[in-house]
Amino acid sequence: MSDPWAAPFETDMRLRMVAACRAMNAGGLNHGTSGNLSVRLDQDHCLITPSGVAYDAMEPADIAILAQDGRWRGPLRPSSEWRFHADILRARPDSGAILHTHSRHATALASLGEGIPAFHYMVAVAGGSSIRCAPYARFGTKALSDLALEALDGRRACLLAHHGMIVLAATPEKALVLAREVEELAATYLLARSAGSPGTLDEAEMAGVLGLFASYGTPDFPDDELSRMDERLPETATL
């Protein structure tokens, strides 16, 4: 159960984190106790999943509170990857949630030390013209955190060599959606490579796609042939 003394936002977020982690494993983005999730609480603290706990058994109260200097509070030790969670949240005020997974295709590509180039326009979903792969460093280390931050510069996702992926988003639900997109891109890229040598879109085209993504899904999305109808349809009209 959640801490009855916790603020409503924290109580709600603990429930949402458990749901996101269970969905991550159920959807094949992760397995076992690997992977982790954090959510910003305030400027200096975040909620973070515990280390070595199966997500089906994890309860909201098991999630630790972590300060950016490494101090923590809770019944269970925070994830061993707490350093990159704290460092990314400090460096990226635009992000409210950090999700790390060991999904199959992204990890396979990362094991080659490769990122995902602009073979498909949807690569822009991660915020740039490619999804970089950070060089290898041992899990849980400051070295890994530094390399991840560099790979995430100007991006919302990166791969970690011989390890997995990291995604950044506003909420745990949006982080889960982005992780699914990155995993699908990795799978499609590996499939394309198995059949040949996929080409890539140039920087100018990706810049145009990124510009469109800035307003995608909103009324401001540019389309000269589409306009809103102000009048009601005639009552006799049938659809």
Point out the catalytic residue in the list 81, 150, 173, 184. Answer: 81
Give the span between the Cα atoms of 79 and 64, in whole angstroms: 9
* Residues 181 and 156 sit within 8 Å (Cβ to Cβ): no
Contact residues for 204 (Cβ-Cβ < 8 A; gap 6+): none
**Is 81 a known active-site residue?**
yes
Give the span between the Cα atoms of 32 and 22, in whole angstroms: 11
Give the span between the Cα atoms of 199 and 189, in whole angstroms: 11
Q: How many CA atoms lie within 13 A of 126 on its CB side?
A: 31
Q: Minimal CA–CA distance to 167: which of 176, 147, 120?
A: 176
Indicate which residues carry an active-site annotation.
Answer: 81
